[in-house]
């Protein structure tokens, strides 16, 4: 997430208070089932490093992966922004009902904090709880084929490892160029910068391991430098099918479950979905804006909107 985004975060969509619907029970009596059109649970929150990590949501001493999951859950239930950090950082969330896949229609609106020339696309996966065990099993996940699906610049099965910064790098004030070391499975390595605007720790503080590895589909860089001034960086929007890519009110923020594909890239038809996973799709730094990191602020079942 970039510095300006905090100021411009869009929360223009009204929160859901719940939708009531009636159905006939077996005994013939009317029973009312209330379902929410918004996120009702976060199953996992695992951001990569980032200039808003440990802040959105805030880390406090003693926090664990479980307490951070609860903070992320509270945020998404209230349509508040959480950051996923650099490439691969992810969140998994769910709903209290199956979101129907209506033929030829968009089904879900994914909320982020993108605005014009500030797209930080995240890859979206969806899961239908076919075996009804209440959780997304590995074979139930399918990636959405967004507009870049066939772009030759996309790297499938990309993996990157970030290493915990040294104590001296953490304690050095101001900009630190050699802050967080990273290494990928394409033979690249380098350092992530600590910028002067964000001086809190960038490595998730509730993680005990000295390195964290993430994998997925790496999208092409979208940053364009259009001049030499502070505001000269633009983060271009992709066509469709990504999170934090269009302003929340635009059709570009909505997805069709029928965009799901299997590992070989073949379309998969799902009757609906119970879970969504989103991870940051870029490994990119854009000058003063810092690293590109997807933000998520929840999701809405469009058929209940
Ligand atoms: Ca659909
Ligand atoms: Ca399942
Ligand atoms: Ca963003």
- Measured in Å, residue 99 CA sits from the centre of ligand 2 at 15
- Measured in Å, residue 253 CA sits from the centre of ligand 1 at 14
Distance CA 301, CA 305 (A): 6
Q: Which residues, 6+ apart, have CB-to-CB distance to 13 below 8 Å?
A: 79, 109, 111, 248, 249, 300
Kindly list the protein residues that place their beta carbon closer than 5 angstroms to ligand 3, a single-atom ion.
1, 113, 120, 244, 295
- Tens-place pLDDT, residues 245-275: 999 999 999 999 999 999 999 999 999 999 9
Nearest ligand to the C-alpha atom of residue 290: 3
- Measured in Å, residue 54 CA sits from the centre of ligand 3 at 16
What integer pLDDT is reported at residue 280 of this predicted model?
Answer: 98
Query: In 3D, which of 229, 227, 252, 208 has the Cα closest to residue 115?
Result: 252
Determine the straight-line distance between the first and last CA of the chain, rounded to whole angstroms: 28
Kindly list the protein residues that place their beta carbon closer than 5 angstroms to ligand 1, a single-atom ion.
101-102, 105, 107, 256-258
- Measured in Å, residue 85 CA sits from the centre of ligand 3 at 10
What integer pLDDT is reported at residue 5 of this predicted model?
Answer: 42
Tally: H helices and E strands in the chain? 3, 19
Give the E-state strand segments of 5-74 in sequence order. Answer: 19-24, 30-35, 41-46
- Tens-place pLDDT, residues 25-70: 555 566 677 899 999 999 999 999 999 999 999 999 999 999 999 9
pLDDT mean for each 10 residues of the chain (305 residues): 42 41 53 88 98 97 98 98 98 98 98 95 98 98 98 97 97 94 97 91 98 98 84 91 98 98 96 98 87 96 93
- Measured in Å, residue 257 CA sits from the centre of ligand 1 at 5
- Measured in Å, residue 178 CA sits from the centre of ligand 2 at 42
Nearest ligand to the C-alpha atom of residue 94: 2
- Measured in Å, residue 116 CA sits from the centre of ligand 1 at 26
- Measured in Å, residue 3 CA sits from the centre of ligand 3 at 10
Strands 211-218 and 155-163, sheet pairing: antiparallel
What integer pLDDT is reported at residue 227 of this predicted model?
Answer: 79
What integer pLDDT is reported at residue 287 of this predicted model?
Answer: 79
What value does the CA radius of gyration of the chain take, rounded to a whole number of Å?
A: 19
Nearest ligand to the C-alpha atom of residue 247: 3
């Amino acid at each position: 997430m970039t510095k300006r985004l905090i100021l411009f975060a869009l929360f223009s969509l009204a929160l859901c208070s719940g939708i009531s619907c009636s159905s006939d029970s077996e005994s013939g009596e009317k029973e009312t089932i209330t379902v929410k059109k918004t996120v009702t649970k976060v199953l996992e929150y695992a951001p990569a490093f980032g200039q808003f990590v440990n802040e959105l949501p805030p880390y406090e001493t003693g926090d664990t992966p479980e307490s951070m999951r609860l903070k992320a859950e509270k945020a998404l239930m209230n349509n508040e922004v959480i950051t996923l950090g650099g490439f691969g950082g992810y969140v998994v969330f769910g709903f209290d009902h199956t979101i129907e896949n209506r033929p030829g229609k968009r089904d879900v609106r994914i909320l982020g904090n993108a605005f014009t020339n500030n797209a930080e696309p995240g890859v979206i996966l969806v899961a239908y709880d076919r075996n009804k065990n209440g959780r997304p099993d590995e074979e139930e996940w399918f990636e959405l084929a967004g507009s870049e699906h066939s772009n030759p610049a996309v790297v499938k099965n990309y993996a990157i490892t970030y290493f915990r910064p040294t104590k001296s790098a953490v304690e050095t004030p101001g900009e630190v160029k050699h802050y967080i070391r990273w290494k990928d499975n394409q033979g690249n390595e380098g350092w992530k910068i600590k910028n002067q605007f964000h001086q809190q720790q960038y490595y998730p503080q509730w993680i005990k391991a000295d390195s964290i590895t993430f994998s997925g589909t790496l999208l092409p860089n979208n940053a364009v430098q259009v001049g030499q001034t502070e505001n000269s960086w633009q983060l271009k929007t992709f066509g469709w099918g990504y999170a934090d890519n269009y302003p929340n009110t635009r059709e570009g923020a909505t997805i069709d479950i029928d965009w799901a594909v299997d590992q070989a890239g073949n379309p998969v038809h799902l009757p609906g979905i119970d879970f969504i996973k989103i991870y940051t799709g870029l490994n990119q730094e854009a000058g003063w804006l810092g690293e590109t990191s997807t933000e998520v602020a929840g999701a809405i079942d469009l058929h209940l909107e």
